[in-house]
Chain A
Amino acid sequence: MEIITVEQKILKKNDEIATELRKKFDEANVLVINMVSSPGSGKTSIIERTLKIISPALSVGVIEGDIQTSLDAERIAQFNIPVAQIITNGTCHLEARMIEQAVNQLPLKDLDVLFIENVGNLVCPSSYYLGEHARVVIMSVTEGEDKPLKYPAMFSKSCVLLMNKIDLLPHIIFDIAKAKKFALKINPDLKIYETSCYDNTGIMQWCDWITNELKLRRCNSPS
């Protein structure tokens, strides 16, 4: 018997596919945003509100990840934009190989922004790089202020936090200062926006972040 050193990442195949995807996204000059959150915190609603503002000035595509249904993709399709549906059949996260197949259904070169709506789950999606430029985590105020410390991997790998359903604050016990403190404790670079899909609070500021990010990327892009 002998011991063979392996020293390999278990998800190396995923990372390799994601790196190839990133090259493809950069060549197509499209800003790719991976939207992650727990179930029901408002990912689809945020994308809908965002589309109302940035589309059609910007050409936007959406990849909808869902464990079981195409309900979210049907909501997004009403905006007459390119949508690709991934039904994971129980798998609790999206993987790079799934995105690889989904992008083949999209006119990538014609897009300015591509949203990937991940499966609602604050644990597993954090381990899977999808080739995105930005990971955006959504946390609704009904979930409790301790979420960043309970799911640190997800919050520490995101660059934007949308604190959603902010209109509900008068009706619930939620210490927003504490929630922000916890989020910034493990990710001091996190950009935080308070948002509401009910009264559109913060949606414009979030859209400004997207357009600014797009400008920055294109200024720095050789093409």
Chain B
Amino acid sequence: MHEATVARNIIEVIESEISIANCKKIYSVKLRIGELSGIYPESLEYYFYELSKNTILENAKLYFEKAPIKVKCTACSAEFEIQNLDYDCPNCKSSQYHIIGGDELEIINMEVE
């Protein structure tokens, strides 16, 4: 739901990076997006396309790496990936866990010239 802000932040972070990298063109950006982050990739692509016009990122393609929901069981400390939060620990069947991953919003790398 907050894709516009996220798109703006991607551009800001990369613009601060390219002053170091000193590149002329950016062809693509690879993102790590957690399944709990509330980000809809198609919507992010739309805002990124619009907001990156007249920047070094104009026409750059976004690639997405999905980060799964990861939890740690409070009873046996087992860490596992989970699709449905209604499930119990596959190791000890405990019903409670802490969420330790899945809300990532990260820039992994970019393809530049």
Q: What is A's interface to B at a CB cutoff of 8 Å?
A: 1-14, 91-93, 95, 121, 123-124, 126-127, 149, 152-153, 156, 181, 184-189
CB distance from B48 to the nearest CB of A (A): 11
Instruction: Give every chain A residue within 8 A of B110 (Cβ-Cβ).
Output: 3-4, 6
Instruction: Give every chain B residue within 8 A of A121 (Cβ-Cβ).
Output: 1
Q: What is B's interface to A at a CB cutoff of 8 Å?
A: 1-2, 5-6, 9-10, 12-14, 17, 21, 23, 27, 29, 31, 36-38, 69, 71, 74, 85-86, 95-99, 102-103, 105-113
A186 touches B38 (CB 8 A): no
Q: What's the Cα separation between A136 and B63 when bound, in Å?
A: 35
Q: What's the Cα separation between A1 and B113 when bound, in Å?
A: 5
B38 touches A8 (CB 8 A): no
Q: What's the Cα separation between A92 and B6 when bound, in Å?
A: 12
A10 touches B98 (CB 8 A): no
Main secondary structure on chain A at its contact with chain B? mixed
Instruction: Give every chain A residue within 8 A of B106 (Cβ-Cβ).
Output: 7-10
With A3-B111, A186-B99 given, is the CB distance from A123 to B85 under 8 Å? Answer: no
A-B residue pairs in contact (CB < 8 Å), sample of 28: A1-B27, A1-B113, A2-B111, A4-B110, A4-B112, A7-B106, A7-B107, A7-B109, A9-B105, A10-B107, A11-B105, A91-B2, A93-B2, A123-B1, A123-B38, A127-B2, A127-B37, A127-B103, A127-B105, A149-B86, A153-B38, A153-B102, A156-B98, A185-B96, A186-B98, A186-B99, A188-B74, A189-B98
